[in-house]
Structure 1
């Protein structure tokens, strides 16, 4: 056994940080799939492909499902699904690294390299303090969320025994922006329940704002730093704008919320919030949305929320970098400025790469599904964007996908959780960087 561990350790060290993340998430997905395939965890028969779909959706915190989790898996199966999206939500490296920190005072160089890839952090952040804040914040918020859910479910007439498990399950799911629920209609039956809508919104926003913001604010309150970082400022401003934009568009142009009367604004905000934070719950049937509002939701899912959090998508920081590039270009500025400060070239390089990679994955996967499925293009585009953004919203076509269509979405969900840039680097990156001695291409841009 020691010989095997030594060989495995050498194999780990031979991989790049991106490859370690890729193989790590693959391992958790594979183990989760094997467990969900065991009949002892089933209420009714389920195919191996559907179990693989559920396992991938859980570890990627997407929430797209081909079968009902509640109707298909018993309590133990549901617990495995919850464990998978808890691991996927805060990252499997966070668990292992926190265990190491609890036993020793420092992380190995290998752990620090992989964590620096898993969490893109501003300068001045210490990985040890960051990890502790992630775990502590997660435990506190999910516990408070479960207590609030329990009160809300009891008030809504849910039986105490089911309310307890449902509260824990949905609290973890909401904070991890996983979108997995124990109700087959998501939260449509609670569309007029202000308390439940509020709990989900707070949990999802806490998770999607990102652990950078949590650590930053904690450091400011404890006076470890004199001011919050520019990253935190950008995150708050950009998410606020996206939420206002999405709420206004749905409130003004979506017919399916018009009948809700006094709850119309709450429903509009909830759908905008669930798209932006990528939490994936809905209180209004998404399949009933008009084409214009579907396009708005697709745009919100494409962007997503903040880096180093539980949400998916391209990230708000990437969007702001792209806007800064465009704005400074049309103003003929020599440098790219945002909030009066220069954005480093490396950040701009990453932002443009992520944007193009996300667009490429959506185009290719939409094309493949258009070849294998018999659904309108708008529903296919919505499904692929939801998968790459790890959102979990669907117009209702997920369960009717062909086996080939399910495999495409499985791949897209996995890439979305790992990150398109991380996936690309894990597969294609060279071990040594190209030096500046190569000839420049004569291109007009």
Structure 2
């Protein structure tokens, strides 16, 4: 075993950062799969494909499941899944590199390259304080979330330990935007519960806006003269605009939400928009009953996603904004790509446009393949594919009825979505992007 690990580590050192990310997530996925196959991890018979589906969904922080968390998995199985989406949420190398940085002067260049590829760290942020903020940020918000959930679940007929486990599990799931729930009906029973709606939204937004924004604004408050990065400005403005547009559309257009009265109507409109955009994947309304226009709005929000270097999936706001800015510059016949009166570097524009195109191609390929194997509407297939590739976890109720081929397609999309489509593309090529040089106005995509 030692000889194998030594050879494997030597092999990794010869690979690009993007390939290292693929191998790393694949190994954690494999370990999770093997643990879920153990007899004491499950309450009922579990097929190989369903175990692999659950493991991939967890490590990719997607939340799509072909089984029931409460009916089919034991406490041990639930714990394995929670650890997988915790690792998937903050990145599999974060803890080890953080420990290394606290026991030595610096991380190896190999680890720095991989973490730069994983987090898309802009040049204005340094690795050591950034990783420290990731750990503190994660632990702090998950503890706060556990306390909030524990208070919110006070009326449930549970014992202390069951209530604590439900609170911890859903706190980690919400912050990591994993979308896993121990309730078979998700959070549909809590559509009118303002405290639970707030707790999930608070954690999901904190996780999806993520580590770059948090570090940036924390340094702004604590370090005199620190300038908020261009990336953070794009993320915050884009997030607020899209979330407001989505909430308004669902509030006035979706019959299931219009049927609610008073505050629950706003809760439902906001929560579903927030869930799609942060890719947290929880729902308080059944998406299977959505009309086509509001389903398309939800698909668009899932497609765009939230922030790079956060726990969310999707295309990412900065990628979307950079692509739109590029299109606008071409329509104006302008050489420079501008946004907020700032020039977006050509290197970042190229990455954004490439990601946009590749994301579209993978989405189309997934939809195309599922139309062969599944006898369901194109709307439901599109929703499922964009949810898987964006690591969202929302579904119109078809996940459990997918054919084996359909499950394999969704597994591949979830895995690629967690890595990032461009990271995956670079991993299967022989090159990678070198972010080592200084760019005057840097953004992460």
Aligned position for 1:154: 154
Q: Does 1:191 align with 2:215?
A: no
CA pair 283-113 structure 1, distance change in 2 beyond 3 A:
same
Number of the residue aligned with 1:424 = 425
Matches within 5 A, 1:245-394: 245-262=245-262, 263-394=264-395
Corresponding residue number in structure 2 for 1:410:
411
Give 1:99 deviation, angstroms: 2.2
- The residue that corresponds to 2:443 in the other structure is none
The alignment's C-alpha RMSD in Å is 1.4
Q: C-alpha displacement at 1:167, in angstroms? A: 0.3
Q: Could you say which residue in structure 1 is the equivalent of 2:83?
A: 83
Relative to structure 1, the CA distance from residue 84 to residue 337 in structure 2 (aligned partners, 3 Å threshold; closer, same or farther) is: same
List aligned pairs for 1:143-222, cutoff 5 A. 143-222=143-222
Contact residue 124 and residue 229 of structure 2 kept, 8 A:
no
TM-score, structure 2 normalization: 0.95
Please give the alpha-carbon distance, in whole angstroms, between the structure 2 residues aligned to 1:432 and 1:404: 33
Aligned to 1:441: none
| Secondary structure of the corresponding residue to residue 260 of structure 1 | coil
Given that 1:207 and 1:311 are in contact with CA atoms closer than 8 Å, whether structure 2 keeps it comes out as yes
Inter-CA distance 3–55: structure 2 relative to 1 (3 Å threshold):
closer
Deviation of 1:430 (Å): 4.2
SS of match in other structure, 2:123: coil
* Matching residue of 1:15: 15
Quote how far apart the aligned CAs of 1:432 are: 11
Q: What per-residue deviation string (whole Å, max 9, x for no partner) do you get for residues 342-365 of structure 1?
A: 110111101111111111111111
Does the CA-based 8 Å contact 2:366-2:413 persist in structure 1?
yes
Cα distance between partner residues in 1 of 2:379 and 2:126? 44
C-alpha contact 1:154 1:160 (8 A) present in aligned 2: no
C-alpha distance after superposition, 1:378-431 (max 9, x if no partner)? 000000000000000000000000011000000000000001110111112348
What aligned pairs does 1:29-108 form with structure 2 within 5 A after superposition?
A: 29-108=29-108
Report the number of matched residues: 433
13-22 or 221-230, larger mean C-alpha shift? 221-230
Q: For 2:81 and 2:225, locate their aligned partners in 1 and report how far apart those are by CA, in whole Å.
A: 39
Q: Which residue of 2 aligns with 1:437?
A: none
* SS of the residue 1:395 aligns to: coil
Which residue is equivalent to 1:239? 239
| Stretch moving more, 221-230 or 330-339 | 221-230
Maintained 8 Å contact 1:149/1:196: yes
Structure 2 CA distance for partners of 1:197 and 1:374, relative to 1, 3 Å: same
Q: Residues 54 and 17 from structure 1, CA distance in 2 versus in 1: closer, same or farther, beyond 3 angstroms?
A: same
| Structure 1 range deviating more: 148-157 or 57-66 | 148-157
TM-score (norm 1): 0.95
Q: 1:219 touches 1:225 (CA, 8 Å); kept in 2?
A: no
Shift of residue 310, structure 1, vs aligned partner: 0.2
Is the 1:61–1:176 Cα contact (8 Å) retained in structure 2?
yes
The structural deviation recorded for 1:329 is 2.2
Deviation at 1:252, TM superposition (A): 0.9
| In structure 1, C-alpha distance between the alignment counterparts of 2:157 and 2:193, rounded to whole Å | 12
**Using the alignment, how far apart are the partners of 1:225 and 1:409 within structure 2?**
47
Three-state SS of the structure 2 residue aligned to 1:202 is helix
Q: Distance in 2 between matches of 1:2 and 1:403?
A: 37
Distance in structure 2 (CA, Å) of the matches to 1:2 and 1:288 = 54
Kindly state the Cα deviation for residue 327 of structure 1 after the two structures are TM-superposed: 2.0
Provide the rounded CA distance (Å) in 2 between the counterparts of 1:211 and 1:220. Answer: 14
Distance in 2 of aligned mates of 1:30 and 1:94: 19
